[in-house]
Amino acid sequence: MIICAGNNETFKFAQPMGVGLIEISMNLTRLCLFDKPEFILFVGSAGSYGDAKVFDIIESKTASNIELAFLSNDAYTPLDNVVTTNLTNIKDIVVNSSNYISTNAELTKNFLKFGVGIENMEFFAVLKIAQEFNIPAGGVFCVTNFTNANAHEDFLKNHEEAKKLLAEHVKNRINELTKK
């Protein structure tokens, strides 16, 4: 099953599940309880912490939930804040999730030290729910912006093109898999 966030980030081939960690958690849990999918593929946009460029396509099976206060030693969590469905030795770019969009480029570049390369609001919740229901899962993202003061404006400017690139990428990957 292919899912996406929703609102203005929808795709003809994906079922919208909600925006942010809470909405996607509620709706994806409901789906898994009543019609458990064999596989979950999340498709969405992402902001780059600096290494990934605008319109890069990134596939990952690893997500984190690290708040900015952690980077400045102003917070800690007793919770496991990294989840992966990656069963290979291939290193993933970690996708960080929060209900907030980062706009401080100096602070967010510190995510790179932890192997965290991009942010997407929903992906951590998707993987936690997939893990809970023992469902293989992954994500495909297109970078729309850098995490800086222009993040929102750049997201708006690049979002439609990113959606087109994502749709094309998913279509090509499905074609590759069906030819095997």
Give this prediction's pTM: 0.94
The predicted structure's pLDDT at residue 180: 65
Q: What is the DSSP string of 76-91?
A: --SS--EEE---SSPP
Average pLDDT for 4-25: 96
Q: What percent of the chain has pLDDT over 70?
A: 99
- The three-state secondary structure class of 41 is strand
Q: Which of 22-31, 67-76, 111-120 has the least mean pLDDT?
A: 67-76
Contact 95, 128 (CB under 8 A): no
Reported as a single tens digit per residue, the pLDDT across 37-85 is 999 999 999 999 999 999 999 999 999 999 999 888 899 888 889 999 9
Q: Give the span between the Cα atoms of 115 and 54, in whole angstroms.
A: 18
Instruction: Output DSSP code: residue 83.
Output: E
**For residue 82, what are its two tokens?**
């990294």
